[in-house]
Amino acid sequence: MATVLILAREEVVAALLGLLVELCGYEPAYVQKGESASDACSRLGCSKLVIDCDHWECSKKTLSAIKDSGVKVLLFGAARIPSEMTRATSSLGIDAFTLPIGPDAFGKLLS
């Protein structure tokens, strides 16, 4: 089963995304305290990263490095900022979604 690393600013959001990840047939994973996203991706051998656009590690440099390592990156944020997310993700060539999102739409983005 493929592993999906989830980085969210709020634990409850991470937990809810973890449930969506499981519904889509993947294994959710989370960073350990003090661990960077890059280190967690390496440790877990994850194939996908779902990251909150408001997370402290969400930077163009970090996302580019993780994407270049072969991990599919999905950026998410609140429904109030879809245009800003689209601009940010188009330059990196990654997908984005806003919350709330249903399992079917989320599953299509993960695949």
- 33-42 pLDDT, tens digit per residue, is 999 999 999 9
> Position of tokens 């806003």?
98
Token pair for residue 86?
């689209």
Reported pTM: 0.93
Rounded to an integer, the average pLDDT of 61-67 is 95
pLDDT at 21 over 80: yes
Is residue 88 scored above 80 in pLDDT? no
Bridge partners for 28 per DSSP: 4
Neighbouring residues of 32: CB distance < 8 A, sequence distance ≥ 6: 40
Strand order in the sheet with 3-7: 27-30, 3-7, 48-52, 72-78, 95-99
- The more confidently predicted of residues 26 and 83 is 26
Read off the pLDDT of each residue in 51-73 and give the average, rounded to a whole number: 94
Structure confidence at residue 89 as a pLDDT band (50, 70, 90): confident
Is the separation of the CB atoms in 74 and 53 below 8 Å? Answer: no
pLDDT at position 75 over 80:
yes
Residue 10 reports pLDDT greater than 80: yes
